[in-house]
Structure 1
Amino acid sequence: MENRQREWGASEWLVALLDGPGDQALEAEFSDWLAMDERHPSEWADAVSTYREMGMVSPRFVSPHSGTEDDGQAGVSGADVVRMTSSVASRSRQGFRLGRRAVVAVTALAACVVALLMAPDLLLGLRADFTTGTAELRKIELADGSIVRLAPESAITVDLSGAERRLELLRGIAFLEVAPDTRHPFLAGMEIAEARVVGTAFELAEVRGKDVVTVREGHVRVAPKAFSDPSLADLHAGDRATVSADGSMARSRLTPDQVAPWIDGYLVAQDRSVADVVDDLRRYYGGLVLLRGATLPARHLTGIYSLSDPVAALELIAASQDAVLTRLSPWIVVISES
């Protein structure tokens, strides 16, 4: 019993209790675990609240102190377990199957959702010449001597057969080192913007509905694509242009060595929102990352994070925001306001 109490966390207890409703010995061990540490009741409430949000359980709580029903934020007593497991058993009799059966059902449902989510990816794969998956980096040497590096979850098409060399970023982020060829200019397109170069090194990025071009070295001319009289931006080392769907363009500056740090395995955040930084880290984590709290996603942070260990990076973000990171499984991470 002591070994189980020492090693199990709230999420493991939740799975065990759902798997064995009515197991009085298990409920007694759980009550002992709750009493072992003053943090355990709040950890339990947080785990159940998260699972409830995911549609996996719908327990009701009774405060161990007042004996009255509350919203689940107070502590949880052994009586709560009885009420929760009784509710689970009742739902099970009505056709719901929890515990291991729930895992099978949720897995099947997840497979259907994944299939739906992957449909656009399959179509994209048919269009693309080169793609990357989650946490995958790829270096591509083109026939003209140019080098393309793809960040995770990215896709491009390439055509070097015409008078102009053409590359299109279909999704994600790409860093290009274009081989000079004055007779065959290089045209790099995205959904909204396009960049024309002769020989240079620069990054193309699709960022939350906007196209971003950032130059490490050389000269790039950027323009919105679908406008008869587009604005133009001549970019040099350290220049960045962000093009919106309405054709507007915002310019900013950074040092050239800050361009595409992901190539070297780092994410650099300079006064960015937690939500934006977590979105970037999701490309490197093969699971689900949930942000919980009214203010947490919009808070700003600055830092340098290693992309080789995205969970460690998420832990640093949580610590910097005085938030709590919980791993519900090897594939689910939750960051909650404390």
Structure 2
Amino acid sequence: MTRESPAERERDAARWAIRLGEGPDAQTLAELEEWLAGDRRRRGALLQMQSTSRLAETILSERSGFDEAAPAQVPERTSHPITRRRALGIAAALAGLAVSGIWVLERRTKSYATVRGEVRSIPLADGSMAVMNTQTRINVALAVKSRTVWLDTGEAWFKVAHDSSKPFIVEAGPVRVRAVGTAFSVRRLDQGSRIDVSEGRVEIWSELQPKERIALSAGQGAFVTDNGKIANVGAVDVERRLAWREQRIDLEGETLAQAVAEFNRYNERQLVIVDPGLADERFHGVFRAEDPESFAIAVHDSLRVPVNLSEPAEIRIGVPTP
């Protein structure tokens, strides 16, 4: 099943705000209950949408003086009467824009992305810093009482400006990381997200298991699966894991398959293991992320296996197994 994005949830909530404002019948209410049952976060989205709709409707009412049962008297230059239905539609549309960050009541949402091989530093308006790894996409919302970052894809390191009145929360799928003033990284992987803390403390949990929360201190890391399990909690070499900020790959016993996957994140020219028997060989060393050729030569020298550098699109390691 495809996971519902925050934007999709907010758009649907805006539509429900309009339908409820028109006097719902029994069938509509039954459909609403079915929609709400699909995700517990939908109820909060709908309540926020209705609240913002009422505020927008009040503003329209004050400016236009419309009657709930009849078209309002409007200036002659306006050709369309403001009926309640139209006002509700405008209000819900404004609410949807407010929640998504296009129209602002109390927050601004900005999106950032990196392409393959790019590492980018983003100063945030609250004084925090985000460093984005290759092929990463984030959305940042700085509100009156909260600071939220949605990590859609990739990996990012955050240096959080201290503000105890505004918790800083990173959302990566169902995974949540909460901090006030600290530094940590979050990487989205196929089955969950990895969190490493370089300064201070953070609290981590999953929306699927909100009561199961743990705190991580500097020098610790953990992996939170998409189904809510917290695993691999313990001490880690955070600086080595954050070598990507200087566009380096620091290998300390990773397999050739793992090393190749890391290099391929950064480069259009892909490393290919031709001989599957080499995949479990382990490597140590520090390499430039944008230089897969040097790594391939190191593999050749270490394992005494052939490496083909003649193809522009890929580097082939080993020979096919007979």
- TM class by smaller structure: 0.5 to 0.7
Alignment partner of 1:169 is 2:184: no
Aligned pair in 2 of structure 1 residues 163, 284: CA closer, same or farther (>3 Å)? same
Aligned residues of 1:178 and 1:201 also touching (Cα < 8 A): yes
Cα-to-partner distance string for 1:2-22 (whole Å, 9 max, x where unaligned): xxxxxxxxxxxxxxxxxxxxx
Aligned residues of 1:203 and 1:259 also touching (Cα < 8 A): no
Q: Which whole-Å CA distance do the structure 2 matches of 1:183 and 1:202 have between them?
A: 19
Cα-to-partner distance string for 1:228-256 (whole Å, 9 max, x where unaligned): 53x22211111011112332222131244
Aligned residues of 2:184 and 2:199 also touching (Cα < 8 A): yes
Aligned pair in 2 of structure 1 residues 318, 243: CA closer, same or farther (>3 Å)? farther
SS of the counterpart of 2:209?
coil
- Residue 273 (structure 1) aligned to one of 238, 251, 255: 255
Alignment partner of 1:325 is 2:304: no
AA in 2 matched with 1:151: N
Q: Give the alignment's TM-score, normalised by structure 2.
A: 0.61
1:174 is displaced (CA, Å) by 0.5
1:187 is displaced (CA, Å) by 0.3
Aligned pair in 2 of structure 1 residues 203, 218: CA closer, same or farther (>3 Å)? same
Query: What are the ranges of 5 or more consecutive residues in structure 2 without an aligned counterpart?
Result: 1-108
Cα-to-partner distance string for 1:179-238 (whole Å, 9 max, x where unaligned): 111100000111241100001111111234331000111111111222253x22211111
Cα-to-partner distance string for 1:113-143 (whole Å, 9 max, x where unaligned): xxxxxxxxxxxxxx98111111111110111
1:155 is displaced (CA, Å) by 0.7
Q: Which whole-Å CA distance do the structure 1 matches of 2:210 and 2:307 have between them?
A: 49
Alignment partner of 1:140 is 2:130: no
- Residue 205 (structure 1) aligned to one of 187, 190, 206: 187
Which position in structure 2 is the counterpart of 1:241? 222
327-336 or 274-283, larger mean C-alpha shift = 327-336
Query: What are the ranges of 5 or more consecutive residues in structure 1 without an aligned counterpart?
Result: 1-126
Q: Give the alignment's TM-score, normalised by structure 1.
A: 0.58
Q: Which whole-Å CA distance do the structure 2 matches of 1:336 and 1:241 have between them?
A: 35
* Superposed structure 1 runs of 4+ greater than 4 Å apart: none
SS of the counterpart of 2:258?
helix
SS of the counterpart of 1:329?
coil
- Residue 315 (structure 1) aligned to one of 287, 297, 308: 297
Aligned pair in 2 of structure 1 residues 209, 299: CA closer, same or farther (>3 Å)? farther
Number of matched residues? Answer: 211
Aligned residues of 1:296 and 1:337 also touching (Cα < 8 A): no
Aligned residues of 1:165 and 1:185 also touching (Cα < 8 A): yes
Aligned residues of 2:241 and 2:250 also touching (Cα < 8 A): no
Q: Which whole-Å CA distance do the structure 2 matches of 1:266 and 1:221 have between them?
A: 28
Aligned residues of 2:271 and 2:292 also touching (Cα < 8 A): no
Counterparts of residues 1-338 of structure 1 (less than 5 Å) = 129-229=111-211, 231-249=212-230, 250-337=232-319
1:337 is displaced (CA, Å) by 4.9
Q: Which whole-Å CA distance do the structure 2 matches of 1:262 and 1:328 have between them?
A: 27
Which position in structure 2 is the counterpart of 1:101? none
Aligned residues of 2:247 and 2:288 also touching (Cα < 8 A): yes
306-315 or 151-160, larger mean C-alpha shift = 306-315
1:297 is displaced (CA, Å) by 1.9
Q: Which whole-Å CA distance do the structure 1 matches of 2:207 and 2:298 have between them?
A: 40
